[in-house]
Amino acid sequence: MAISYLKKATKTSASDAGDVQETVRSILAEIENDGEAAARRFAEKFDKYAGNIVLTREEIDAAAAQVPQKLKDDIQFAHDNVRRFAEAQKRSIVDFETEVIPGLVAGQKSIPCNAAGCYVPGGRYSHIASAIMTVTTAKVAGCKHISACSPPRPDVGIAPAIIYTADLCGADSILAMGGVQGVASMAFGLFGLPQADILVGPGNQFVAEAKRILFGRVGIDMFAGPTDSLIIADETADAEIVAADLVGQAEHGYNSPVWLVTTDRALAERVLALVPQHIDKLPKLNRQNATAAWRDYAEVIVCDTREEVAATSDQYAPEHLTVHAADLDWWLERLSCYGSLFLGEETTVAFGDKSSGPNHVLPTSGAARYTGGLSVHKYMKIVTWQRSTKEASKQIAVATARISRLEGMEGHARTADVRLAKYFPGENFDLSAEDL
């Protein structure tokens, strides 16, 4: 495999992760012990906010009144697209039953989680789209109670557009609380909330660590790291658009990796020249994030063949994968490791991030090798059931007794024995693990 790096990252997503585990663990323990009082203390400390935590209907309506109608229309458009895609996903989950052997029927049933907790970032950027992605999908799944929490601005509260969006999408409770304290409030069932069965949504490293520590006591969507994006391009790609797409994802944060993998060296060199120009045109905060991400984490890789490109992409297993290349069907069939795939110049990661329909909460840091992103399926438990006739249980019981005894699990074996004795009195069965 002939691969060359025109630009090599000096850092990885783990380089500046920092040791936040003990800090988060301490905060969680204090909130679990002291409850709402501790959560309020941390809200005042970190969010500089001492206002109402669970928003009232009056507060929600007041926030909605501050949102311009044009933005409301855009939010409704995005919500409808995400809802329609989620509804299609739900239809793909089929309850069924099948006769395994004559008289033994087994089945599958999907059951939504009762309570979902959705985290909506509101720090550097007001993530309106994250409210759409998390709350809408939980609503379609059929969760009985959906909580949404978002960091309030100091002495102001949650951005009105986030409040409006969470309410539109179906949140039953909206909490003006961010960070670890917000996650903990949903997980522990504070402020009158039911304890969350699952916690979802993006957040900073403290939010991600809180979800990681709580995993097991509650479900989570996935383990999260900094967002990352990879672009595949060939000689047909437009360098300007490729550069814009790379910068568009690098602005997420200083440690957000972006990668270009191409078969065209001339294109790669052109993109390398264009990216700084695109970064320089961004607003200050966005420019600072993109500059650091491009300097420290970005890579530009040239391969000889498209098979090498595909293999390299699969190795990186990016959160977002965009293809600017000919024969898009070939790439759709060949690529296997990504959170979400964007095929062709006509689509881009930002479409998926904001409004096109598929969810934007996706696996990062190579996790796309083994999992997909947030979906209706994440909020649903796929459970099984079975029912047997007495006659069918005969064969099952004999096999169960023998296997159990071979494993040394005599108690298991005897649950089969008693049924054989009751249902088939007078019959003799070989229930030992050894050959006669």
DSSP 185-240: HHHHT-TTPPPPSEEE----HHHHHHHHHHBTTBEES----S--EEEEE-TTS-HH
Report the alpha-carbon distance of residue 258 to residue 271 in Å, rounded: 13
Report the alpha-carbon distance of residue 386 to residue 34 in Å, rounded: 44
Q: Is residue 28 part of a domain?
A: no
Angle at 141 between CA 58 and CA 87, to 5 degrees: 105
Report the alpha-carbon distance of residue 323 to residue 83 in Å, rounded: 26
> Is 319 one of the annotated active-site residues of the chain?
yes
pLDDT of residue 380: 96
Q: Is residue 284 part of a domain?
A: yes
Name every residue whose Cβ is closer than 8 Å to that of residue 309 and which is 6 or more positions away in sequence: 232, 261, 262, 263, 303
322 and 399 both lie in a single domain: no
Q: Which of 319, 345, 360, 407 is catalytic?
A: 319
pLDDT of residue 15: 54
Check: CB of residue 339 under 8 Å from CB of residue 320: yes
The tens-digit pLDDT sequence of the chain (436 residues) is 578 999 899 987 665 556 789 999 999 999 999 999 999 999 999 999 999 999 999 999 999 999 999 999 999 999 999 999 999 999 999 999 999 999 999 999 999 999 999 999 987 667 899 999 999 999 999 999 999 999 999 878 999 999 999 999 999 999 999 999 999 999 999 999 999 999 999 998 999 999 999 999 999 999 888 999 999 999 999 999 999 999 999 999 899 999 999 999 999 999 999 999 999 999 999 999 999 999 999 999 999 999 999 999 999 999 999 999 999 999 999 999 999 999 999 999 999 999 999 999 999 999 999 999 999 999 999 999 999 999 999 999 999 999 999 999 999 999 999 999 999 999 999 998 776 4
49 and 155 both lie in a single domain: yes
| Tally of structural domains, the chain | 3
186 and 310 both lie in a single domain: no
Dihedrals φ, ψ of 109, to 5°?
Answer: -140, 140
- The CATH number of the domain holding residue 297 is 3.40.50.1980
314 and 432 both lie in a single domain: no
Q: Going by DSSP bridges, is the β-strand pair 340-343/145-150 parallel, antiparallel, or unpaired?
A: unpaired
DSSP 104-158: EEEEEEEEE-SEEEEE---SSS--HHHHHHHHHHHHHHT-SEEEEEEPPBTTTBS
Check: CB of residue 206 under 8 Å from CB of residue 157: no
321 and 400 both lie in a single domain: no
pLDDT of residue 12: 78
206 and 253 both lie in a single domain: no
Name every residue whose Cβ is closer than 8 Å to that of residue 243 and which is 6 or more positions away in sequence: 271, 274, 275, 277, 278
360 and 294 both lie in a single domain: yes
Q: Is residue 365 part of a domain?
A: yes
Q: Is residue 204 part of a domain?
A: yes
Report the alpha-carbon distance of residue 229 to residue 374 in Å, rounded: 17
328 and 260 both lie in a single domain: yes
Q: Is residue 382 part of a domain?
A: no
Check: CB of residue 71 under 8 Å from CB of residue 348: no
In b/e form, how buried is each residue of 81-111, taking b as 16+ CB within 10 angstroms? bbbebbeebbeeeeeeeeeeeebbbeeeebe
Supply the pTM of this predicted model.
0.92
279 and 189 both lie in a single domain: no
pLDDT of residue 322: 98
Give the structural domain span for 410.
389-436
Q: Is residue 68 part of a domain?
A: yes
Give the end of a domain, one of 205, 221, 237: 221
Q: Is residue 23 part of a domain?
A: no
284 and 343 both lie in a single domain: yes
Q: Which of 145, 320, 324, 360 is catalytic?
A: 320
142 and 255 both lie in a single domain: no
